[in-house]
Amino acid sequence: MRQLLQQLQEMHIRIAETATHEETMVRALSEALDRLDQQLLQDVQTIASEHEARRSAILGELQGLASSIGVFHVQHQQVTARADLEEPTYLPTAGDWREAASNIRDDLEPVSASAAPRALFPHERHAHETGAAPVSLMQRRRRAAG
- At 8-28, the pLDDT tens digits run 999 999 999 999 999 999 999
Mean per-residue pLDDT of the chain: 78
Report the alpha-carbon distance of residue 87 to residue 89 in Å, rounded: 6
C-alpha distances (whole Å) from 106 to each of 71, 102, 115, 117 are: 28, 7, 17, 20
Buried b (16+ CB within 10 A) or exposed e, 12-48: eeeeeeeeeeeeeeeeeeeeeeeeeeeeeeeeeeeee
Q: Which residue has the higher pLDDT, 75 or 88?
A: 75
Note if the pTM is more than 0.75. no
Predicted pLDDT at 72: 57
